[in-house]
Structure 1
Amino acid sequence: MSRTLVIQLARLGDLVQTMPMIMALRKLSPRDTIDLLCPEPLRDLGTLIPGLDRVVGWDGARWHRWAAQATQGLRPNQREEIEQELRALCPHTYDRAFVLNQHTRAIVAGTLLAKECVGPLAHGPLSEQLTPWAAYVREIARTRRSNRIHLSDAFCGMCGLLPPGTPPRCLTPLLSPSRNLEPIGQGGGPWIGVIVGAGDPARQIPIEVWRTWIVRFLAVLPRGRVVLIGHGAECDRARDIQHAMPPSILGRIWDLTGQTTIHALAQVLARCQYVVGSDTGPLHLAAAVGTPTLGWYFARARVHETGPYGSGHRIWQAQSEDGGAVVPATWPIEPSLDVLLNTSPRAQSQWSHWTSQIDEWGTYYSEAGQSSAPPREREALWHELSPAMPV
C-alpha cells in the first residue's frame, strides 16, 4: 500500500470540484491511504468527501507570516518551528502528492510532504514548464477561448486519471438539525435554496433581482418556500432582499445567512428541492449533495468549465460577443421559474440555456433545443493531452 496526499488549497467551490478526481483515485487504488490537505476553514467539508482516510487542515495565515519573515531571514529557532509544524501536520512522508493548484504554496507543500509530486509542473518544483493539462487550463483562463472540458475533469487529467463516469456524492452530515433548520424541507414546497451572494463580488446577483425572483416564485407557487443561504458577511444582503416585503411573504422565507456551519449547510442544501445561484461554492456543494441546481452564469463564469458537476443541472449563460466579462442587462427570472413549474423554459435575450450530462469523459453541457450528444472535441482533447494514458 502506498500513501497519497491530495493538495487543494483553493476555495470551497474548487474543493468540491476536486471530488471526481478523489473518486477516480480511490477506484484506481482501493487499498492505498489517501489523505487531503485543504485550508483549515474547509476541513469539515473534507470530512464529507468519500474515499478519504484523513483530512489535514492548512493554516494559510501562519504559513504566509512565515514566508514573509523568511524573505528577511529566518530566526534561529524558526526553521525548527517550521519542521515541527510539518511533522505535526503529516508525521510520515507520503509516497506521492497530487497538487491541484498552480500556486507556489501548493507546489511547495507537495515537495515538502511527499517523495514525488504529480501536478501542474512537468519537472519538479523549480521548473517553469507546465504539464500539458496545466498548460491547457492556464491558456483557457488567459484567452477565454472555447472549451468543453470541465475543470473537475481537467483535475483528473492533470493527475493522470480518467473521470469516474458517475458524479460523486458528499456523505450525509451526522448532526441533529437545530430548531431553525428542522422545518426546512418539511411541509409545503417546493423548498428552494437561494444563494444570496458570491465570493467574487462580480458574480453577485443584484439584490433587486433576487427580490423580484422571490416575489414571483412565491406568487406562482403558493406552497413554495425560500431558504436564504450565505455566510456572515452576506447577512446585510439577505436583509435588503427582504426589505419592504409583505408579512405574508416573509412568513415563507427562512433566512439562514451567517447561521450554518459547513456540515449544517450541506444538510440544508440536501433538504431543498432546487438551489438557485451564481457560480459560487454553495451551488457546487448543492450539486455534490444531490440537489438539482439552477445557475445564472455571468461576469467571467463559464458553464463548460465550472457548471455544477453531474447530470440534470440547468444553467443560464450570459452571452458575450468578445468573450470578456459580462454584466447582464436582463436576468433569466421567468425561464428559471418555468423549470419549477415543469414547463418548457422560455427564451431570454442575452442568455443561453444549458443542461448537464455525464459520460466516460466527465460532465458536459448541451444547449437547450440542440442535440444532447457529447461534443466530439472532448475525446480528441483527452487523447492530445494524455497521450500516455490508455484512453
Structure 2
Amino acid sequence: MATFLVIQAARFGDVVQTGRLLRTLERRGQVHLAVDAGLSALARLIYPFATVHGLALHGCQEQEVLEKNIRVLSGWRSTEFTTVYNCNFSGLTAALCRMFAPETVVGYRPAADGIWRSPWARMAFQLSGQRVLSSLNLVDFWGHFTNDPLPPAEVNPVAAPGGQGIGVVLAGRESRRSLPVPLLAEVVRTAFSAMGGPRVRLLGSSAEKNVARKLQKLLPPKMLDRVEDLSGKTDWPGLVDAVSGLDALITPDTGSMHLAAHLGVPVLAFFLSSAFAHETGPYGQGHLVWQAERHCVPCLESAPCPYDTACLEPFCSQALLRSLTLALTEGTERAALPEGLQLWRSCVDSLGAVLHLVAGADRHAARRAQVREFLASYLDVPFVPSADEAESITISGEANSGLAWLFDEWLCRDTDWMLPPGRYC
C-alpha cells in the first residue's frame, strides 16, 4: 500500500485548507500528517484517517529542527514513504526534507542555492505577483500538488443551516482584517433580527475576551440572554462542538471560518485589507463573502497601511446591513452595495473553488477568468468557464485577445514548460 507524508507546518487555517490534498491521498493509501505540535489535537479531529505527527517548530532555528524533532524523525526513518508533500516554503520544513530522497519530495525541498520549488509551486509564486488577478483558492493550490485530486464538490459539504444559531468570530489574527467592534455589533444585531432571534455564540481565544465584553455592551439588552461568550473557553474539541451545526458563522478571514466550511456551516465572511476571497475564501458551495475592492487591495498585512485602512469605509454603509438582511431572508438578487464593496457567493467548478459576484462591480473579471482558464490548461483539467466568466470576457472585448498578456514575463517563463504540466508538483 502506498504511504504518504504531508508536512503542513503553518497555522490553524492552513491545516484545514490542506483538506483536498489529504482526502485525495486517503483514497490512495495510508496518510501521515505533520503539523505544529499545538495543532495536533485539531488535526486528529478533522482528519481521523491520518496518522498525525506533532512537530516542535516555534522558536526553532533551521539548524535545530532535526535535533528537536528527533523522536518524530526516527519514526519517519523506519517508514518508507511513497511521496512526501511539503506544503510550506520554509527553511525549517525544507530541512526536515533532507532525510528523504529528493525525487520523493513534492512542493519544496532543500537545494544548494536555497529552497527548490516544483514547477506548480513556482507557477503559483509567479501568480502571486499580481494577487488581484488570482483565481486560485489555497485549498486548490495544495490540492493540485497531486494529479487528479478529489473533485471540488466532494471536499466540503454544501453549506446548510444546522439549527444551532449564530457564531461570531470576534477578531482575526491581524487586527486590520477584522471589523471594528461597533461595526461588528451592527452586523450581529442585523443578523440576529433577520434570523428571528437565535442563540449567539461568541468565539475567540483568551486574547479576545475584552472584545467580547465590548461587543456585548453594544448589543440590545433583549439580546444578551441569548448570547453565550465562549472566548477563551474552548479547546480544539470544544471549538469544533461550538461551530458544528450553526446556522451561520460571522467572521473575518480566520481558521474558524475554514473550520466552519469544513463542517458545512454557512459562512458570512467580511474580507478587507490583506484578506482576499479568491485566495483564502471559504471553500465549498453556499458561503457569502463581502470583499473590499480598492486599487490597493489585497495588501501585505506586514506593511503599514498608507491609506488609514480606507478599505473599511464601504463596510460602514447601511447598504451592507441591508444586503445582509436580504441574504438571510429573501436572497441576494436585490442586494446593492456602494463603490468599493463586493458580495460574492462561493461555488465550485472542475478546477476548484470559484466565486460568483452577486452585488458590486468587478473590474478584473475578464482577466481573472482568463487566468483561471490558463491554470486549468496548465494542470490538464477539462475546463468550461462559468456563464459569469464567459460573459465578463465577452463584455470586456477580450474574447478573442487570447492569453498573450499572461506571458509578458509575469506568469510563465520557458523553464516552466520543461516538465509535463501538473505531473511533477
How does the TM-score come out when normalised to structure 1?
0.81
Structure 1 partner of 2:14: 14
Distance 1:66 1:91, change over 3 A: farther
- The yes-or-no answer on 1:354 pairing with 2:316 is no
- Mark the CA change 1:266 to 1:90 in structure 2 (over 3 Å): closer, same or farther: farther
- Per-residue deviation at 1:128? 4.4
C-alpha change, 1:366 and 1:114, in structure 2 (3 Å) is same
- Partner amino acid, structure 1, of 2:351: W
Amino acid at match of 2:41: D
State the partner residue of 1:383. Answer: 377
* Counterpart secondary structure, 1:48: helix
Contact 1:94 1:115 in 2 (8 A): no
Displacement of 1:127 after TM fit? 5.3
Distance 1:315 1:111 in 2: 41
Moved more, 322-331 or 334-343: 322-331
**Structure-2 separation of matches of 1:330 and 1:67:** 43
**Structure 1 residue 168 corresponds to structure 2 residue 155:** yes
Inter-CA distance 26–254: structure 2 relative to 1 (3 Å threshold)? same
Q: Shift of the alpha carbon at 1:158?
A: 3.0
The CA deviation string for residues 319-350 of structure 1, in whole angstroms up to 9 with x for no partner, is 11244436311313331232112343522212
From the superposition, tell whether residues 164 and 26 of structure 1 become closer, same or farther in structure 2 (CA, over 3 Å). Answer: farther
**Contact 1:4–1:94 (Cα < 8 Å) also in 2:** yes
**Residues 43, 113 of structure 1: alpha-carbon distance in 2 compared, 3 angstrom cutoff:** farther
Distance of 2:220 and 2:268 partners within structure 1: 26
Q: CA deviation at 1:366?
A: 1.3
Deviations 1:62-106 (A, max 9, x none): xx4464769xxxxxxx96x76455225765353321011111112
Q: Conserved in 2, the CA contact under 8 Å of 1:315 and 1:355?
A: yes
Question: Helix, strand or coil: the match of 1:149?
Answer: coil
Which residue pairs with 1:173 in the alignment? none
User: Offset of 1:51 from its aligned partner?
Assistant: 6.9
Q: Which amino acid aligns with 2:233?
A: Q
Q: Deviations over 1:148-170 (max 9, x none)?
A: 12111111223444353324349
Query: Taking structure 1 as reference, are residues 250 and 145 closer, same or farther at Cα in structure 2, changes over 3 Å only?
Result: closer
Partners of 1:23 and 1:162 lie apart in 2 by: 9
- The letter of the residue matching 2:94 is I
Bigger shift: residues 282-291 or 189-198: 189-198
1:54 counterpart = 2:51: yes
Deviation for aligned residue 1:122: 7.6
Question: 2:324 aligned with 1:336, yes or no?
Answer: yes
Note if contact 2:202-2:229 (Cα within 8 Å) is conserved in structure 1.
Answer: yes
Once residues 190 and 201 of structure 2 are traced to their aligned partners in structure 1, the CA distance between those partners, rounded to angstroms, is 15
Q: Is the 8 A contact 1:314 1:353 kept in 2?
A: yes
**Alignment partner, residue 96 of structure 1:** 83
Please give the secondary structure, in 1, of the residue aligned with 2:15: helix
Q: CA separation in 2, counterparts of 1:289 and 1:296?
A: 19
Greater Cα shift, 314-323 or 16-25: 314-323
- Residue 290 (structure 1) aligned to one of 264, 274, 280: 264
Comparing 334-343 and 192-201, the one that deviates more? 334-343
Cα 1:255–1:167 change in 2 (3 A) is farther
Structure 2 CA distance for partners of 1:67 and 1:102, relative to 1, 3 Å: closer
How far off is 1:236 after superposition?
0.9
Contact kept in structure 1, 2:61 and 2:92, CA below 8 Å: no
Q: How does 1:110-125 map to 2 (within 5 A)?
A: 110-112=97-99, 116-121=103-108
The reply to whether residue 39 of structure 1 matches residue 36 of structure 2 is yes
3-state SS of 1:144 partner: helix
CA contact (8 A) 2:169 2:256 kept: yes
Deviation at 1:126, TM superposition (A): 5.4
* CA deviation map 1:169-205 (0-9, x unaligned): 49xxxxxxxxxxxxxx99xx67111111101222121
Measure, in 2, the Cα distance between the counterparts of 1:48 and 1:166: 21
Per the alignment, in what secondary structure is the counterpart of residue 321 of structure 1? coil
Instruction: Note the residue ranges of structure 2 that are not aligned, 5 or more in a row.
Output: 300-308, 381-419
Percent identity, aligned pairs only? Answer: 25
Give the 3-state SS of the residue equivalent to 1:6 in structure 2: strand
Cα pair distance change 1:385/1:358, threshold 3 Å: closer
- Candidates 203, 206, 229, aligned match of 2:177: 203
Q: Which has the higher helix share?
A: 2
Moved beyond 6 Å, runs of 4+? none
Q: Given the two structures, how large is their TM-score scaled by the length of structure 2?
A: 0.75
Does structure 2 conserve the Cα–Cα contact (< 8 Å) formed by 1:23 and 1:51?
A: no
Matching residue's letter, 1:383: S
Gaps of 5+ in 1: 71-77, 171-184
Among 275, 285, 288, the alignment partner of 1:314 is 288
How many residue pairs match? The answer is 361
